Amino acid sequence: MGKVEAEEIRNFCIVAHVDHGKSTLADRILELTGAVPKEKMRAQYMDQLDIERERGITIKAAAARLSYRSGAGKAYQLNLIDTPGHVDFSYEVSRSLAACEGALLVVDVSQGVEAQTVSNFLLAKASKLAILPVLNKCDLKQSDVERTTRQLRELGVDITHLVKISAKTGEGVPELLEKLVTVIPPPRSRAGEDPEILKALIIDSSYDNYRGVVATIRIFSGRLVEQDRVRLWAAGVETVAAEVGVFSPVPVRVKQLGPGQVGYVAAGWKSMRDVAVGDTLVRAASPPSAPLPGYQRVKPMVYAGLFPTDGENFEALKNGLQKLALNDSSLTIEPEVSDALGFGFKCGFLGLLHMEIVSERLSKELGIETLLASPTVVYRVYQRQGAGETMVEVKSASEMPKEGADRIEEPRIRALIFTPTEMVGPVMQLLEDRRGVLEEMNYLDPRKVILTYDLPLSEVITDFYDRLKSLTRGYASFDYEFKTYAPADMRKLDVLLNGKEVDALSLIVHKDSAARISKSVSSRLAEAIPRQLFEVVVQVASNGRIIARETIRALRKNVTAKCYGGDITRKRKLLEKQREGKKRMKQIGTVEIPKEAFLSILKSGDLNPPSAR
């Protein structure tokens, strides 16, 4: 570390497990520092989007500059850097942490340490941040300060400066601020960095109708002044810094930012894709040198079809998604046409929660109901070619090469599961059913176990979390990070109706569950497809071999007994109704398939094996 750049600056973030009080604490800090007057305060001020407020998580990092005068009368500039609260955004979290010197690790004492407490702690530790443990909800009756303290110690958290607060009442928060400025160090320039040369880390970006893309940045060295010609390192885009300011927490134009400071810059960027989190902002004219470390291009980990539940809303869905993508560079969209569901989009998401958030925002903010179909992870499919090999990324069953594959790799994750000790048996069973490999098992205390598992991502993208929650009556918590790609024996299952393949229903499954899932698929279809004029044979094939089969017997009777003069009008109307119903069915060959039949297969989370045995 080099010299202290600005003695009075403290850059910090708040990290916590969901619902442990992160946003409430941020509100109190904004209030206490006078950034937001009490009468203007609304709950969870930093979380700008309704949906985030509701779920108690934030999607996009933002930052607030706060003024604080310590008990000793010293003035500080605090920069509270908000971090996304979920694992799907772990890369963004890591970039936010990289912009800080310290983190407040908040734990709800009525809950104790949870999965995200641990993963956040580990991330903060890896970023070499000063960690200030904060026990929240100490005013509650059911709080167990002792136990939580022990758990933190067990985890390896330095509890010398432990602070007890109630974010709700504000009790203990002034003391917390006092501790903050002593425990968290001021920013320092990075070793070997030329203090004069501008290097700023992009920690967030958002889209503004007037300014274009606005980036939240942390200056590591040098100075950014309005009208500077700047360049984004990875994107290679050169523009002029038109506006430089800070959030306090409303945007305030300050014209320049110095070393260690956090603020925003609008430089006439047009596309969110250019302004990537983790990229380094430099002066256009600066001599070549290394960018700030840690930059990655985030790639979607999960793909799913997104279809309007009412086919007529396609245009609305298209506009809605484009609007969301404008502010969410990790969301990818490409048009998709499904035999079964009509026009829609194949969307790429960072993970499960990201996927859910997108569909919820479409519904809540834009009023568009959507159907998430066949969520799939990205498989790497290798094929021999001459002496070498080629690799394609496969994002849905229909992309599986027709010629088959020599080998397939699937993404695997490291999952951290916290569970009450008495439920560890069923939880481990669930993980085993999902092809999990136990890596570690630790007792945080006699009542709580931390399981570390190596798991295929494909096994958690549907109903895993729901299962886990219901097995443990809501007590388990779960967090994961992407680990690596590893060989997997995956199979493509094809569904045939009277010998005709139904593309939309193909699936990629693991060899071990192929038989069971095929059976489930064929029997679901046999149940959901009404009897027709002809017998319908439902088959599920893997590598051209039929592994499950059901027969839907031909319809024997559908005729009204009486049709005399007085019956004609009514009967005609009845037939019209029947015909309307049929219009809504999809015809594959001569077989009519109602939408429900597709849904019974395509809807996320339905086909997984039962876990409670």
The contact set with another protein (CB under 8 A) reads 532-534, 555-566, 568-569, 571-572, 575, 578-579, 581-582, 589-590, 592
| Strand, helix or coil for residue 100 | coil
Q: Least distance (Å) from another protein to the CB of residue 534?
A: 8
- Contact assessment for residue 496 and residue 506, using Cβ atoms and an 8 Å cutoff: no
Looking at the Cβ atoms of 210 and 564, the one nearer to another protein is 564
- Of 253 and 577, which CB lies nearer to another protein in the complex structure? 577
Neighbours of 566 (CB within 10 A): 9
Question: Do 268 and 227 meet the contact criterion of CB atoms below 8 Å apart?
Answer: no
User: And the tokens for 282?
Assistant: 């430099």
DSSP letter (8 states) at residue 440: E
Q: Determine the Cα–Cα distance for residues 209 and 337; give it in Å rounded to an integer.
A: 31
Question: What is the closest distance, in whole angstroms, from the C-beta atom of residue 398 to another protein in the complex?
Answer: 25
Give whichever of 47 and 592 is closer to another protein, judged by the CB atom.
592
Distance CA 242, CA 265 (A): 8
Residue 524: CB minimum distance to another protein, A: 22
d(CA 5, CA 494): 62
To 10 degrees, what angle do helices 424-433 and 464-471 make? 160
CB of 500 to another protein, least distance (A): 12
Distance CA 506, CA 397 (A): 6
CB 583 → another protein: shortest distance, Å? 9
CA angle 438, 486, 476 (to 5 degrees): 35
In the complex, minimum distance from the CB of residue 584 to another protein, in angstroms, rounded to a whole number? 12
Name the minimum Å distance from CB 373 to another protein.
Answer: 27
* Residue tagged 């942490």 (tokens): 97
Please identify, using beta-carbon distances, which residue of 545 and 557 lies nearer to another protein. 557
Helix (H, G, I), strand (E, B) or coil at 173: helix
DSSP, res 258: -
Q: How far is the CB of 580 from another protein (least distance, A)?
A: 9
* Residue 470 or 560 with smaller CB distance to another protein: 560
Q: Which is nearer to another protein, 473 or 579 (CB)?
A: 579
Residue closer to another protein by CB (options 402, 556) is: 556
Give 285 or 533: the residue with its C-beta nearer to another protein.
533
Single out the residue of 264, 260, 278 nearest to residue 221, CA to CA. Answer: 260
Length reported for the chain: 613
| Smallest distance from another protein to CB 573, Å | 11
Q: How far apart are CA 28 and CA 33, in angstroms?
A: 8
Half-sphere exposure of 28 (CA within 13 A, CB side): 20
Distance CA 507, CA 352 (A): 18
Q: Which is nearer to another protein, 309 or 532 (CB)?
A: 532
